[in-house]
Structure 1
Amino acid sequence: MQRRTFVGAGSAALAALAAGPAFAQKITGDVRFLCGFAPGGTADLLSRILAEAVGPEVGQKVIVDTKTGASGFIANETIANAPPDGRTIGLAAMAALCVAPVMPGQKLPINVDTDLTPIANVAGVYNMLVVGKHMQYRTVPEIIDFAKKNPGKLTYASAGNGTSQHLAGELFKKMAGVNILHVPYRGGAPAIQDMIAGNCDMMFGNMPEFLGQIGGGGLIPVAFGSPRPSPLFPNLPLISKFLPGFEVVNWFGVFGSKGLPADLTDLWNKALRAAVAKPEVQKRFVDSGMDTVIGSPAEFKTTIMADRKKWAEVIKEAGMRAD
């Protein structure tokens, strides 16, 4: 499927780009790379990997500028309002582009369709379903079977209403035809801790959030919600094996400011494609629980609109509202 192309480290197309593109247009001066998420998380790590790898491609120093708050929108607003000279770009998450605009009650400081310029979708984080070690149901068929026979008995945790974990849980309920109780927490860490304590049964989320507890035995991996399994868990099944069409990808993309010219947009797109093609970058992606998602700016726009439509339907059916 063209709009969602997961690319392995051996891709010939990426390898060709890694040789280093020649750009007619140039970036002059240091570049700010905005990240709206806290240090130490997946987005922060991805921002630093990209900044380090893409700098040589444009011949400039790329500096990560962290501006947390408002679910990433403080950084997004900074990108939007920067001069359209290509020297301010940044990372934005799927939730900001595809969930927030269609979430009832959500007020946004910018229009994400007109105030940001999509450059490239760069990484997808593997989505994983895990259960607490107290759970005796450890496969997707077992969970669905128990949930159908015992409506409302199972619980699933999330980092809060309207988060990617919440959306994945509601999509699962919709496609499986089951009633599982949603338990929202104020952040992913307390949700995971309550699962380990046996107070909540299951959770969908980004694989990197679970790796430490899986290794320690506190959480049990069940299946991947992403289109393919991570190389770290090659034998873990896909949820789509049991629920055809189930797919959750919490992707991150790079954006430029409002009115960024097409030649600068293309320059950054080619530079990012060359950056993520590097074997050392591919390895860091895999080790961090991420996969390469890459394409043209036009393909990125198609992904945004398709995912927005998908999640708008889930939000409406579940009756979600912003807190």
Structure 2
Amino acid sequence: MDLLRRTFLKLAGGVVAAPALTQPASADTYPARPVHIVAGFAAGGGVDITARLIGQWLSERLGQSFIVENRPGAGGNIGTEAVVHAAPDGYTLLLSTVPNAVNATLYDNLNFDFIRDIAPVGGIIRVPMVILLHPSVPAKTVPELIAYAKASPGKVNMASAGFGSAPHMAGELFNVMAGVKMVHVPYRGQGPALTDLLGGQVQVLFATTPGTSDYIATGKLRALAVTTASRIAMLPDLPPVGDFVPGYESSQWYGLGAPAKTSADIVATLNREINAAFADAKMKSRFADIGGEPLTGTPDEFGKFIAGETEKWGKVVKSTGMKPE
């Protein structure tokens, strides 16, 4: 069973209620009632798993239920808009992720401005990705993949976890920076994309690292490089793409946001507790189990990070002429 799926099953029943031994917050302190974390994607994926992990932690720390509410659709825009229009009282939060930064440019007629209308609370984790190839592809290094793709324009199919997803954008960034044109083939999640990569229906996948190590170790798939700026503990033998394509960096990331004008005190409380999770060995290990590396810091630092990601992916969207599907 896939690691994300196992983690989801463990968490599915555990986030709604805080532990019985935890005393509820008093009426004049935050939170005084259950808090909803809106996840703009379906249950069982990385957004949902991360929301449940941090929700369970916040429940234990703050003595109130943190309920994960899945509102999938329109690349995360439906869930995001629900939070934008919620009361700025700290009781409705957003699990923010890469598509939020992408959608700011990808969609022309959004009813909100993500940077203006969602207050950054704090980063949670970033998840590295790895370039995976079907063994039939005659490339064993990133330069060889670039040469192969240039020699076969429009014939190398690149799977993704969906249009505008982190794996899709990592692949498009590679196309732009390496000067190649691999053909995007979107799937409804990384699982189906991996299945077709294993079967040879597609040739390349920029995949988030959880659930890939067995395929790499057994030779069913060939790993070329990681998408982060430096090597990662999970796959220490793989070089970064940036060693061959200078300046390249991409990762999946997750954090919490709140409606604009949410009290700075509430934001500070949540930010403090998110950061505390990574001082706890058990929680740090649980995030590491899904490939997560800490993306902690202040709300301002997370806001600057989001602004940088929005600008970065906006350039990719414009340069490729991407349109919503």
TM-score (ref. length: structure 2)? 0.83
Q: Verify: 1:60 aligned to 2:52, yes or no.
A: no
Q: Verify: 1:89 aligned to 2:89, yes or no.
A: no
Partner of 2:8: none
Q: Quote the offset at 1:156 in angstroms.
A: 1.6
Query: For 2:80, which of 76, 79, 83 is the aligned residue?
Result: 76
Q: Quote the offset at 1:32 in angstroms.
A: 1.9
* Counterpart Cα distance in 1 of 2:263 and 2:139: 53
Partner of 1:192: 194
Give the match's secondary structure for 1:90. strand
Partner of 2:103: 100
Partner of 1:4: none
- Higher mean C-alpha displacement, 210-219 vs 190-199: 210-219
Partner of 1:146: 148
* Counterpart Cα distance in 1 of 2:292 and 2:310: 21
Give the match's secondary structure for 2:115. coil
Partner of 1:135: 137
Letter in 2 for 1:53: W
* Counterpart Cα distance in 2 of 1:302 and 1:207: 25
* Counterpart Cα distance in 2 of 1:93 and 1:54: 19
| Aligned residues: CA RMSD | 2.3
Q: Provide closer, same or farther for how the CA distance between residues 161 and 32 of structure 1 changes in structure 2, counting only shifts above 3 A.
A: closer
8 A contact 2:104–2:314 mirrored in 1:
no
* Counterpart Cα distance in 1 of 2:108 and 2:193: 23
8 A contact 1:37–1:44 mirrored in 2:
yes
Q: Quote the offset at 1:154 in angstroms.
A: 2.6
Partner of 1:288: 290
Partner of 1:49: 53
Q: Quote the offset at 1:116 in angstroms.
A: 1.7
8 A contact 1:57–1:275 mirrored in 2:
no
* Counterpart Cα distance in 2 of 1:320 and 1:197: 28
Give the match's secondary structure for 1:79. helix
Partner of 1:3: none
Bigger relative contact order (CA 8 A; separation at least 6): 1
Gap runs ≥5 in structure 1: 1-23
Q: Quote the offset at 1:61 in angstroms.
A: 2.8
* Counterpart Cα distance in 2 of 1:230 and 1:251: 15
Q: Quote the offset at 1:176 in angstroms.
A: 1.7
Count, aligned residues: 298
Letter in 2 for 1:54: L
Give the match's secondary structure for 1:300. helix
Gap runs ≥5 in structure 2: 1-27
8 A contact 2:129–2:167 mirrored in 1:
no
Give the match's secondary structure for 1:136. coil
8 A contact 2:115–2:307 mirrored in 1:
no
Identity %: 33
* Counterpart Cα distance in 1 of 2:139 and 2:316: 25
Query: For 2:42, which of 32, 38, 49 is the aligned residue?
Result: 38
Once the two structures are superposed, residues 258-280 of structure 1 have per-residue CA deviations (whole angstroms, 9 ceiling, x without a partner) of 32011111111111111232111
Partner of 1:110: 112
* Counterpart Cα distance in 1 of 2:110 and 2:105: 11
* Counterpart Cα distance in 1 of 2:102 and 2:116: 16
Query: For 1:222, which of 221, 224, 228 is the aligned residue?
Result: 224
8 A contact 1:214–1:220 mirrored in 2:
yes
Q: Provide closer, same or farther for how the CA distance between residues 234 and 52 of structure 1 changes in structure 2, counting only shifts above 3 A.
A: same
* Counterpart Cα distance in 2 of 1:106 and 1:207: 32
Give the match's secondary structure for 2:278. helix
Q: Quote the offset at 1:298 in angstroms.
A: 1.0
Q: Provide closer, same or farther for how the CA distance between residues 154 and 274 of structure 1 changes in structure 2, counting only shifts above 3 A.
A: same
